[in-house]
Structure 1
Amino acid sequence: MNFEDAELYRDITDTARDTPSWVQHAAEIWTEAGLLVFVALFAAVWWRARRDSTQAFAIAALAPLATAVAYVCSEVVKSGVAEDRPCRAVTDAASSLAACPPHGDWSFPSNHATIAGASAVALALVRRTLLWLAAPLALLMAFSRVFVGVHYPHDVAAGLALGALCAFALIRLSTGPAIRLAEAMRSSSAPAVRWFTGPGPATPPAHAANTAHTTPRQPTRHR
């Protein structure tokens, strides 16, 4: 932690204490419950991917797994760095809106920001347009951790970067095997497995396709 980061933390927490009570309550709720929004997005893309290509389904299935791996990486780094929380370490700062975690629940990097960064990248790899929704949500989640007073700015910046990197690397490295597994599951004889993976993209019936490509025969005129 450097002097500039501590000053920025003080500025943000002072501002948080000066905001209306409804803003403070909204921040306290969002900083924890906001992770459920990413869970809902994972469920939505999985459900949609059941009727999409095998590759799309494989990436959708990998997305929550990649986020979980990013969280584990964050915990490993956190235990190694052992940085104390700013709500205890920074003097003359406004009291945190959220309860200060106990000693031993270290600050760097932010687990919430790591999960948010990993979720945003994973969702964008499933469907690029989701980046316009997931990225602002991830940034808002990261900022809220500083706003409620439980993280330094550098904690959340590192968390976002770590989560994004872990998710991108794991999904890129695992997509090939995941596609092969998804193909095998879609052809499984177990109904529950086939329901989980879905039927894949709809294909037109064979007779309809043949009819569409057949030129109507002209009637024969008899002389």
Structure 2
Amino acid sequence: MTLGDFADDGLYRDITGFAQDTPAWVRHTAEVWTEAGILVFGALFVAAWWRSRRGDTRAFAIAVLAPVATAVAYVCSELLKSGFTEERPCRAVAGAVPSLAECPPTGDWSFPSNHATIAGASAVALVLVRRAIVWLTVPLALLMAFSRVFVGVHYPHDVAAGLLLGALVAAAAVRLGVRPATRLAGALRGSTAPAVRWLTGPGPAAAAPPAAYAASHRRR
């Protein structure tokens, strides 16, 4: 099955034509960001894990689940690709300007966008870890999705579907996995193995002794 008859060719031509008219530094930035954005989300996952090591067990479990949920979304995207087998627009759209990025080979299908799926899943999963960073993760995900069309390797509907798929799968995966993950994290935090203790962190109890100590001194 393909989506060729429904592809938004005109919008794709408009965006890629606009991309060709932008300054060279804009085109170069888009080419770098469209791939490096995944590394940025990876760094945010590491930061979320590190910060959660001193949080309660449920918060820690969600931080660990976040990249796992993103990986699940990626697998779902790959499965959908094999079912739709939509050709890349950089090869299929007549009259389009050359893509800024190298056009992936035939067999590396277009719908949905894996990059947009990862971006959507990462954005939602990180917000579930800490709601305050929604102002950062959502714009980053939208920029990453748009960049896939800008550099010419995806249709707009590819990235829209990828963002939606990633967001839904990540939210569902975290919701379904949070209880068993919290139980597992609690058990690991009770371990005496130094490596395990370092990975899971001390939890909020680490902050309790100083507070208790200060309270006892105030009573004297």
TM-score under structure 2 length normalisation: 0.94
Match of 1:211 among 186, 200, 216: 216
The 1:93/1:183 distance shift into structure 2, 3 A limit, reads same
- What is the CA-CA distance between 1:213 and the residue it aligns to? 7.7
Unaligned ranges ≥5, structure 2: none
Q: Secondary structure of the equivalent of 2:209? A: coil
Q: Give the structure 2 partner of residue 190 of structure 1.
A: 193
Residues 1:19 and 2:22 are matched in the alignment: yes
- What is the CA-CA distance between 1:208 and the residue it aligns to? 2.2
RMSD: 1.5
> For the residues of structure 2 that align with 1:71 and 1:14, how far apart are their CA atoms?
29
Q: Secondary structure of the equivalent of 1:204? A: helix
- What is the CA-CA distance between 1:4 and the residue it aligns to? 7.0
- What is the CA-CA distance between 1:211 and the residue it aligns to? 2.0
- What is the CA-CA distance between 1:204 and the residue it aligns to? 2.9
Q: Secondary structure of the equivalent of 2:8? A: helix
The 1:4/1:115 distance shift into structure 2, 3 A limit, reads closer
Q: Give the structure 2 partner of residue 199 of structure 1.
A: 202
Figure out how many residues of one structure are paired with residues of the other and give that number. Answer: 215
Query: Which entry has the higher C-alpha Rg, 1 or 2?
Result: 1
Q: Give the structure 2 partner of residue 93 of structure 1.
A: 96
Kindly, what percent of the aligned residue pairs are identical?
Answer: 71
> For the residues of structure 2 that align with 1:163 and 1:206, how far apart are their CA atoms?
42
The 1:206/1:92 distance shift into structure 2, 3 A limit, reads closer
Provide, for residues 136-179 of structure 1, a one-character-per-residue CA deviation record: whole Å limited to 9, x for no partner: 00000000000000000000000000000000000001101111
Q: Is the 8 A contact 2:73 2:121 kept in 1?
A: yes
Match of 1:51 among 30, 38, 54: 54
TM-score under structure 1 length normalisation: 0.93
Q: Give the structure 1 partner of residue 145 of structure 2.
A: 142
Q: Is the 8 A contact 2:7 2:155 kept in 1?
A: no
Q: Give the structure 2 partner of residue 62 of structure 1.
A: 65
Unaligned ranges ≥5, structure 1: 217-223
Amino acid at match of 2:131: R
> For the residues of structure 2 that align with 1:64 and 1:3, how far apart are their CA atoms?
33
- What is the CA-CA distance between 1:5 and the residue it aligns to? 1.0
Residues 1:105 and 2:108 are matched in the alignment: yes
